[in-house]
Structure 1
Amino acid sequence: MNTTERSQGRSPLPELLELLESPIYGFRPFGQIIRVEDFVADGRYVLRAELPGVDPDKDLEVTVGHGILHIRAEKSKEAKDTKEPRRSEIAYGAFSRSVTLPPTADAEDVTAVYRDGVLEITVGLEPENKTAGRRILVRH
C-alpha cells in the first residue's frame, strides 16, 4: 500500500519574507537589516545577530510565536552629538528581523544572551520522531 505524506501545512509567507529581507536583494521596506548567522549545535538551533551599540535592557526585544523568531532593536544617536558629521556610515533607527525556526523547534525552550554587540539566541529542538507522522490503526 502506498502512503502519502503531507507537509505540516506551514504557510510559505515566512520564508518569502525572510528571502526579501536577505542582503542579496537589499530590500528593506521597514528599516535597516539585522545581519544573522544560524546553525544547529548540540541539539539546539543557534542564531547570532550583529547588534552593536544597542542597549539590551531598553532597546532590544526578542519574541517567538507560530514558528517564527522576531528580533526588534533600536539604535539612537547620542543626544550629546550636536555636530553634524561630515560623513556618517553608522546606521541609526529601528531594526528588525524575522527568521523561520526549524519545524522541530521548541518555543518553550528559548534563551538569549547579548555580549560584545552580538545577540545569541538558542532554541531547543525536539527529536525528529516526535514530530513525525504515525500510522493509525483502523478498527472494524
Structure 2
Amino acid sequence: MPQVMERLPGWPPQFPDLFSWVEAGLPGVPGIHNIRIEESVAEGAYTLRAELPGIAPDHEVELTVTEGVLAIRAERKTETADKHHTEFRYGTFARSVRLPAGAQGDETTAEYKDGVLTITVPLADPKTSSRTSTVRRT
C-alpha cells in the first residue's frame, strides 16, 4: 500500500513570504526598515523618488553623498497615544544607492511632497579620456 505524504504546516511558503525581509527591513539589522524607491535618468539628471509617508522632511530626513553613493536616512518616532492595533512602521528607514557616472553629488537637490521624497542629481557628460602609451623594448 502506498504511503500518503502529509503536507508540512506552512510548506511550501506562500510567494510573498519568500521575500518578507524586503518589507520588514534590512536582514540582520533590527529596527532599520528599507525605503522603496524609483530611479530614472533623463534630461541630464538622475532622479530618485523615495516613499517616506509620515516623515517630517525638515528634521527627520538626512541625505549624504559620499564617493558616488547617495545615502538616505529617515526616522519616524512612535506616537505616544495608545493604539489597539497598528501596522505603521516606526524607527529608522535607510537606503543607499550608487549614483551613475558623471553625477555631481555636491549639487544634489531634494523636495518632499505627499509622502514622496524626490532627489535630483545633475549629471555631467562623463569625460572620456584616453592615453596612448609607448612600449619600450628592454
If you compute each CA radius of gyration, which structure gives the higher value, 1 or 2?
A: 2
Whether 2:74 is the aligned partner of 1:76: answer: no
User: In the alignment, which residue of structure 1 is the partner of 2:130?
Assistant: 134
Q: How far, CA to CA, are the matches of 1:94 and 1:44 in structure 2?
A: 28
Which is bigger in relative contact order (C-alpha 8 A, separation at least 6)?
Answer: 1
User: What are the ranges of 5 or more consecutive residues in structure 1 without an aligned counterpart?
Assistant: 1-22
Q: 2:97 aligns with which of 68, 77, 99?
A: 99
Mapping 1:1-140, distance limit 5 Å: 26=22, 28=26, 29-30=28-29, 31-79=32-80, 81=81, 83-85=82-84, 87-128=85-126, 130=127, 132-136=128-132
User: What are the ranges of 5 or more consecutive residues in structure 2 without an aligned counterpart?
Assistant: 1-18
> Percent identity of the aligned residues?
44
TM-score calculated relative to the size of structure 2: 0.73
What number of residue pairs does the alignment pair up? 113
- Provide runs of 4+ in structure 1 moved above 4 Å: none
> Structure 2: which amino acid aligns with 1:127?
D
Q: How far, CA to CA, are the matches of 1:24 and 1:41 in structure 2?
A: 32
The SS at the match of 1:133 is coil
Q: How far, CA to CA, are the matches of 1:77 and 1:25 in structure 2?
A: 21
Q: How far, CA to CA, are the matches of 1:35 and 1:120 in structure 2?
A: 12
